[in-house]
Amino acid sequence: MSVNDFFQRDYDELYRDRQQLSKLLKIRCFSLNYISAILEAYDFFVINKNDFDGATLLQDLYDYKNLDLKALVHDYIYLKFNCASSYTYKKKADNLFAKMHSHFHNGDLERITRRTGLGISTTPFLIFNILKNGVMKKEQKNTMDLYLIKFN
């Protein structure tokens, strides 16, 4: 299991980094919806400091300081919407993760390697999460669909 201590800092420091991150994403010409989706994930982990671990099993590819924004959004989606308990929605989350690698210009090899790893782990991870967290609820699916639209 990976460890990332980015959110293990005081609130004022995290707030300043949030402002800088927002400016950086604007400079990189991401849409306001895309930026708001990333900041939503960021805010979730400001509150749930111990829940963000970064890229599991692989080294983080940092986009801002020691923060991998693709892993940030991916972890947020898994935790907030329990999508790992639905084959279809886990696949949607994993596809967004791969798509974000292209958006952040991490290269095809990184994108393909990481997406393949997530695909291989789908069945055992799905079974584990259904037993641990139960099935994904319809409300979670609807809310996740609305969240994912922000990345279009």
Does 5 fall in a domain?
no
At residue 57, the pLDDT reads: 46
**What is the number of domains present in the chain?**
1
At residue 32, the pLDDT reads: 97
Q: Tell me how far CA of residue 64 lies from CA of 9, 21, 54, 104, 130, in angstroms.
A: 15, 7, 13, 11, 33
Does 2 fall in a domain?
no
Does 133 fall in a domain?
yes
SS3 state at 34 = helix
Closest CA to 91 of 99, 58, 34: 99
Does 78 fall in a domain?
yes
Does 4 fall in a domain?
no
Does 101 fall in a domain?
yes
For every one of its 152 residues, what pLDDT tens digit does the chain have, with 9 covering 90 and above?
467 889 999 999 999 999 999 999 999 999 999 999 999 999 999 999 999 987 654 555 566 788 889 989 999 999 999 988 898 998 899 889 888 877 775 545 554 555 555 555 656 766 766 777 778 999 999 999 999 999 99
SS3 state at 6 = coil
At residue 111, the pLDDT reads: 46
Question: 31 lies in which domain range?
Answer: 11-149
Does 138 fall in a domain?
yes
Does 1 fall in a domain?
no
DSSP code string of 6-66: TTSS-HHHHHHHHHHHHHHHHHTT--HHHHHHHHHHHHHHHHSGGG---SSSS----SBTT
